[in-house]
Amino acid sequence: MFPFSFEWIWDMSHMVFHGGLWYALSIIGMGMTYCIIKAAYDSAKGKGGHHGHGHH
């Protein structure tokens, strides 16, 4: 799973597989980090809207 695992080889299959995997995980991670930090910031600033507004 990581380069320090003993069966890791720096070959094309590993690069393609892990490249894709970590790319997808990074996007999800960054997206959620942004959402959580912005939510904390917005609620700290006391922005309104406690009642459920219309769905998108």
Partner 1 sequence: MDSVLIPKGVERCSIGKFALFIAVVGAVLLWGVVAMLLIYIKGLNQTNMNNAYGFALWIWADLAVIALGGGAFFTGLLRYIIGKDELKHIINYAVLIGFVCYSSALLILAIDVGQPLRAWFIFWHANVHSMLTEVAFCLTCYFGVLTIEYLPMVFENRQIDRVPFFHHLGHNMHATMAIFAATGAFLSFFHQGSLGGVTGVMFGRPFGYRTGLLIWPWTFFLYTWSAAAVGPCFTIFITRITEAVTRKKLVKDNVVDLLAKIAGWMLLTYIIAKIIDTWYWAAVTAPAAGFTLMDFYSNNPGSAYGLWILIAEIGLCGVVPAIMLVTPNIRRRPAALFVAVTLAVIGACLNRWVMVLQVQAVPVLSFETWFTYFPSWQEIATTILPVAYGIILIALSYRYLPIFPQEQELNPIEGGK
H-type alpha helices, the chain: 12-44
Binding status of residue 1 toward partner 1 by CB under 8 A: yes
Report, in Å, the least distance between residue 31 CB and partner 1. Answer: 5
Rule CB under 8 A: is residue 33 a binding residue for partner 1?
A: no
Instruction: Decide if 29 contacts 35 (C-beta within 8 A).
Output: no
Backbone angles phi, psi at 44, to 5 degrees: -70, -35
* Residue ranges in contact with partner 1 by CB under 8 A: 1, 5, 7, 13-14, 17-18, 20-21, 24-25, 27-28, 31-32, 34-36, 38-40, 42-43, 46-47, 49-52, 55-56
